[in-house]
A and B are shown apart, each in its own frame.
Chain A
Amino acid sequence: MVALLLFIFSLPVLGQSQTVSGTVKDTEKNLPLAGVTVKVVGTTSTSQTNESGSFTIKANKGQVLLLSYVGFETLRYTVDGTSLTIKLKSAVTELDEVVVAMDIKRKSRDLGYSTQVVKGEDLKETQRESFVNGLQGRIAGATITSTSGVPGASSTIVLRGFNSLSLDNQPLFVIDGVIRDNSTIDAAASVPAAAGQNNTSNDFTNRIADLNPNDIESITVLKGPEATVLYGSAASNGAIVITTKRAKITSGKRLNINYDNSFRFQSLQNTPSVFNGFQQGNNGVLNNGTFSAFGPAMPEGTKLYDNIGNFFKNGFGQTHNLGVDFGTMKSSYRASVSYFDQTGVVPGTRLQRINFRLTNTTKIGKYIEITPSFGYSNSDNDKALKGAGGYLLNLFQWPATDDAQNYLLSNGNKRYLINTNNTADNAGLGTIAETDNPFFAVYRNQSRDKTNNYDANLAINYNPTKWLTVAGRFGYNYYTTDGYQYRDPESASQSSMANQGQLDNYFYKVATYNHTISASAKKNFGKFNTRLTVGTRWNQLEFQNYGISGTKDSIRSFDSSSTGIATRTRLSRATLYGTENWNLRKSYQVAAFTEATVSYANVIFLTGSIAFESSSILPSANRNYSYPGGSLSVIMSDIFPKMKGGILNYWKLRGSLASTARLPSPYANQSNFVPTVTSNALPANLTPLQYAFTNANPDLKPERQNTYEVGTEIRLFNDVVSIDAAYYNAIASDQIAQGFRASYGSGFVLNTANNSSVRNQGIEISLGIKAIRKKDFDWNIQFNFNHMWNQVLAIPASIDISGGDYYDASTWLYNNARGGIRPGYSTGTISSFGYLRQNLTPTGANGVTSNNGAIVINGTTGLPLNNAFFRVRADRTIWVTLGTINRFRYKNWNLSFLWDLRVGGDIFNATNMYLTNLGKSTKTADRLTPRVVTGVIQNGLENTANATVNNILVTPYWNSAYYGSTSMPEEDYMERDVKAFRLRDISLSYRFPESVLTNRRRNMDAPGVIDYLPIKSLSFFITCNDLLLFTNYSGADPAANGGNASLRGVGAVGFDYGNIAAPLSFNAGLRVGF
């Protein structure tokens, strides 16, 4: 409408006698503002400022100009001359209009719950390949964990902690009002297993990373579950609401072209320290037939190779972004193209991505505006296999006396280190197994996937009257991922050698469609303002996957046709039904929702909402459920205006209650049969069947979560300081425990039931300080503080009563430690084996012992004994995170950096345990020193006051078992209270003054290309990622994740097993606007 008016009034208007010209500038930065609407009050005369902030309009002295511009306070300015300089103040108090419902903005003061906004520019400035990684430290309460530092790694994002023990805890992604899939391929469930596919050894990009960071205008994070009314139960973990860029077409400017690029250099700074002081062998005896390094000391002058240094290489990357805005005021287009190419620090890793996006906005008639958009991305990710049997652990294991770079013989066959007589297996007979050389592992064992991702969206807004808005958002997204994982016939990984090569091909296609149609009406009754929204939503997801695994692929082809026909296996659905059907997982959801807001005098806002939802995941008898919510926002500073003064400018109190539901995976409530082998005379069309292990409980209900939140927003000292603080408390009950053990009385071995619950609490504080606001110099600081704590209230009684732990097998990565959960503890606990300790007050069954008694020692060996039970021994929950963003501007120079502080939370350093078990960690350096392990002897008196103190002398050099997992159990590798202070991003940019560009002297005597280019803006930047890390963690990087983003529940965050650190990245590039 506004644009339409502008269009009309940009025609010459008669009847004004005087032409007034002026310049509009930003109060703070004193920079010209382009596109400000200038209107003469009481007339139809309207104008707009140009790029240099100037405008002309016909107006008489004394008439009032109304200046309005998004993000700035509307100003009424009385004409007092013919050449005006007007300054607009940024609308601090209302600046934070946030996108809540679909892509419709709502004023922050209305909202009774917490939201936080991040500008797309800020994310882009980080130059990170996935914008999700750029969010860390910028949102109080958001935890982002990247699986590893290689290109295409998946990232897990969790808002406000883990509410669900078994289901997905990641927020919903919404792009321009349309729900967008962010799933990560779950290798364990989706890929056949000939080559040992699992989420520890392979990783798949989380698909939201396909979104071009350059297309993001802004991101609003809805941290609590309040968004579920609008987006459905899929948003029960909060929502990341993304607004993409639209064409910035004004009447004066119908073509904008922006180009930027970035060139990146990456290098790995931190690797775990590997100790190479001793030769191969055991118990001090030389044995070159083992990788264990418990042999004699390395002789003087032994040539040692820097295998680790030789292995990691520098990564190089480049990004090119082009954005073009064109069209008319009525119908404008934005087209963007992006090319990204990055090779990683691990040899053989690379991610290439191409993005394309076209968005149009067209006004039809007086009332209708439609915004269709189309996006496409193509990514090609070449990967290395990590985790157990992966390159990193092999690299650490490789003796430094050997140059690992020579991984092949001159004849092209694998060079063996230990089994020097390697003729036998050259025929692929698989008689000799030897851990792969790391170079062999990355060059010969291959993994790669390609994704094509399409999306088509349509937004329709219909505003027939001032008080009524009808909006529809329709979104379709389709992507395919085709990939393979290959293990060479000579590889010792998995059983590849025996199998003469293993190849998994997998094909994945995902189609999602969703729409939301809503109507919103506003009406005022005196001082009461009301708004009512009703709507309906349909959300449909279809995941299909298919895979072929085969062995005997000796020709090193990555096509399944090269595997032995008889060895090929397909997905279960195919084998069962005889035909090659794709596995299909689909769910449909339909909802009707309504939200009503009543406000009084624009100072008190009360909102109530309810959604009625039905899901195809549940049987018709119990598929309907609803969840209400309510929130209150009170602007104290407007109710009691006297408060406002020199110190306080704004004070809002808010509170909300929300209920939400969380659904199980499709088919989790349908037990199924498996083919069995039994004596039978069935006809050919029938295969004998029996029920599979799992009781997929048909009576499953959605998980419920009740959250309350209170918060406040305060602005002080003329908006120099702004504070947003929130406390929340969420109880997630009826949680679905999947695959838990119970009595066979259920009729099955593994069970599914609504029987767990968790309480999550936290405090989030965002503090903004505009420390310096000068003409040439700004300094802004923002702190994002988060402290969360939680408690598991219930796990399945069958596990609880025996003192057991409820765990996800995907977290059981190395030896006996896993993400085991116990009631009364936090959700992030690690359960593991530990030392057998004195138990002066026996507590009963299953070896539950106190955690602080003296270690019990074997009276023969002098080595500690093991408490071989999974007991809670560590907690991964991070106590406090604090992101600190500093922004400096000096004239045209901008410097910004983000420090990310983490305090607390334990990490299981499985990498160190692995190295210690091999005699290659620094822990084993002093092995020649005799010592007595402090503890008491197990002689029958150990649990009495008269326990015998151990005095058996042990020299680990002669007894490698000292470093074994029994005498030095998992408990010993829990690194407690990890602190890390990381300079995540630092960016320096220089923007050429416009005057330089517009007044630049073109050398038309000998013109170059640049002399013809109408360059409007030009800037250069350099950005560093992960430049500095200060930590008390002994491993490579405390941001460790032993799984990938497909893991549900708490996942394998805090398990460091063969992880590589985030590499240091150095980016440089330019931005230019035409």
Chain B
Amino acid sequence: MKYISFITTKSAVTMFAIGVIALASCSKKLDEAYLNPNNPVEGAIEAILPNTINQMTSTAAPPAGGGGGSYGPAAEAVNMARYIQFWNAVGTNDNYDQMGGVYATASDNTGLVWAMHYYGIGANAKFIISRGIQQEKWDYVGVAHAIFAYSWLTLTEEYGEVIMRQAFDGSRSTFEYNTQSDVYDSVRVMCDNAITYLNMTGGNVSAANLKLGDAYFLGGDVNKWKKFVYGIKARTFAHLSNKSFYATKGYADSVIKYSDLSVSANAENATQKWTGGNFSGTNNYYGPFRGNIGSIRQTAFIADLLSGASTASPFTGVFDPRTPYLINENTNGTYRGVVPNLGTSGLAAADQPKTFWRQPFSSTSTAVPDSGRYIFNNLAPFPVLTAADVQFMKAEAAFRKGDKALALAAYTKGINMSFDLLISEYQTRVPGNLQITDATRNAYFANTKVIPASPAGLTLTMIMLQKYIALYGYGFSETWTDMRRYHYTDLDPATGKQVYAGFTLPTTLTIFNNGKPVYRARPRYNSEYLYNIPNLQLIGALASDYHTKEHWFSQP
């Protein structure tokens, strides 16, 4: 019996051992069957970068299989740039004209940057980083960090508290929010990381290879990417101008330092270009092919500022030669614009501005082919960061620091850069008689209302208004951030006049504003207001006037 028992045990052990060996030897076969053969779970990072870059302006839904619609700041600005009166609605009583947000409505409006960041860029940029490190394509890794830095900063400046530490954890179904100051700190770290990787050579770093993924943005030039990153980093300091530590920590010096490292010529501008064709994804969001801006019109604020009609503006009476480039003349040949919330704003028919596609005021239809000017065409390059932008950032910092000479130099350069860009990129369809000539340009620069005779004549108003003009149309996020820093109507202590001279808040605000101007957007409805409510509650985002809550960045 003992013998049998032994056999039993032995055969059991043997069988079990066979089983264990089978398990081990099968594991290789299991590995073979693991990967999804039907759809790519891996992709060349060169093929993933173009769309990830494109997210920084606007994207379109891919033809099949999911992937997101029209996300990005350009798309967002169609509604939200009404807050800063880049444009306003063609009709009356528009929610965004009235500085409204999305409340008590199942709308994803004002959630396009949210989608851009978390869905459009997030997993894709993370993938580029992880595979880029494996493949030693440090330039790609740096670029992905740069995009992230841009994206996180743009995100928090629109929404304030955002999901950061728990972001991209695919096992979670609820996500906590982090403070804006955390995000700012992180963005600087991302900028540093981006620079570190962009500085790395060796491995599989190759400008030619980077250009594969980056052909339509910075052309694979890591130096331009570095300048882009320094521009983002400069912003992280510039935007904290209301903080007491702005002065104590010498943030103005940081702005100047990183501005100097950033884009200094239009050739270095970070600009999305387009291949065009019959696809939304390869055309400018504001062009007639995509047809997204039929219901917005140039505002009285920009029209009066450019034409010199604004009596509050320091440039009153000065016709800006850039006017016909940026906005459109009416049938009278003058430049007029709408007032928020008022539709035609009482303008006589002949005074009513044309649409951005240069159709009659009331026409909301698209015009094919291209008929608009500036960035409102299918193939018009769409800037993300320009030399003018950086110069004005530097000018403001220098001015705040008290170095008015430096401020004036940067200010002047900024205007010059703006002129240069318009002439080189956006002169098409500006009639010959309205084009900038040396004479008109020189006259403008010679006008001391524009360029003061001495640094002492420079004001904050001049800097911010010229920046507003230079960034008109494309620089919604930066301009809104600037205007919120000045609470739209803050007075310049030096002059006692409004920094954004001539800017008036809409006379009617939505009932949810409780009389306050808009300061932020609600996170995307179909992301947060349906699926992350407890965390929204913690940051007070369920309040009906949440969109009027001021950001940390603009608070003292």
Contact = CB atoms under 8 A, between A and B. Distances in A.
Contacts of A804: 530-531
A614 B31 CA distance: 11
Interface stretch (A370-378, A583-591, A936-944): A583-591
A678 B163 contact: no
A767 B258 CA distance: 85
Contact of B531 (A620, A677, A741, A754): A741
A460 to B, nearest CB: 15
A616 B50 contact: no
Nearest to B526: A741
Interface in B1-42: 4-5, 7-8, 11-12, 15-16, 18-20, 22-23, 26-27, 29-41
Nearest to A586: B33
B273 interface: yes
A388 interface: no
A335 B135 CA distance: 61
A582 to B, nearest CB: 9
Interface string A590-634: 111110000000000000000010111111100100000000000
Nearest to B66: A693
Interface string A464-484: 000110000000000000000
B505 interface: no
Contacts of B59: 678
B281 A523 contact: no
B48 interface: yes
Nearest to A754: B171
B30 A673 contact: no
Contact of B26 (A518, A532, A614, A673): A614
B11 A690 contact: no
B119 A749 contact: yes
Contacts of B273: 679
Contact of A753 (B11, B37, B67, B171): B171
Nearest to B50: A680
Interface in B38-84: 38-41, 43-44, 46-48, 50-52, 54, 59-60, 62-68
Nearest to A686: B47
A676 interface: yes
A674 B212 contact: no
Given A667-B36, A743-B175, A690 B19 contact: no
B319 interface: no
A614 B23 contact: yes
B62 A690 contact: yes
Interface residues of B, number: 90
- The B contact surface, by secondary structure, is helix
B12 A748 contact: no
A548 to B, nearest CB: 16
Tell which of A467, A686, A755 has the most Cβ of chain B within 10 Å: A686
A682 B163 contact: no
A742 B65 CA distance: 19
Contacts of B40: 576, 672-673, 689
B215 A519 contact: no
Contacts, number: 297
A86 interface: no
A578 to B, nearest CB: 12
Given A535-B15, A697-B170, A690 B30 contact: no
Interface string B496-533: 00000000000000000000000000001011111111
Contact of A681 (B36, B215, B526): B215
Interface in A666-708: 666-667, 670-683, 686-695, 697-699
B440 interface: no
Given A536-B19, A614-B26, A688-B47, A746 B63 contact: no
B280 interface: yes
A677 B216 CA distance: 13
B31 A675 contact: no
Nearest to A618: B34
Interface stretch (A350-358, A716-724, A792-800, A817-825): A792-800
B289 interface: no
Contacts of A699: 170-171
A617 B273 CA distance: 42
Contacts of A677: 60, 62-63, 279-282
Given A679-B274, A796-B173, A845-B533, A620 B27 contact: yes
B201 interface: no
Contacts of B122: 744, 747
B63 A744 contact: no
B163 A743 contact: yes
Nearest to B60: A677
B166 interface: yes
B172 interface: yes
A615 B30 contact: yes
Tell which of B31, B37, B170 has the most Cβ of chain A within 10 Å: B170
A675 B62 contact: yes
B267 to A, nearest CB: 19
Contacts of A1027: none
A690 B124 contact: yes
Given A536-B23, A743-B118, A802-B530, 6 more contacts: A468-B8, A523-B4, A534-B12, A590-B26, A689-B48, A743-B173
7 contacts: A573-B39, A678-B281, A679-B275, A686-B212, A693-B67, A744-B119, A754-B171
Interface of B: 4-5, 7-8, 11-12, 15-16, 18-20, 22-23, 26-27, 29-41, 43-44, 46-48, 50-52, 54, 59-60, 62-68, 114-115, 118-120, 122-124, 126-127, 163, 166-175, 211-213, 215-216, 272-275, 279-282, 524, 526-534
5 interchain residue pairs of minimum CB distance: A592-B19, A693-B66, A681-B215, A745-B175, A798-B531
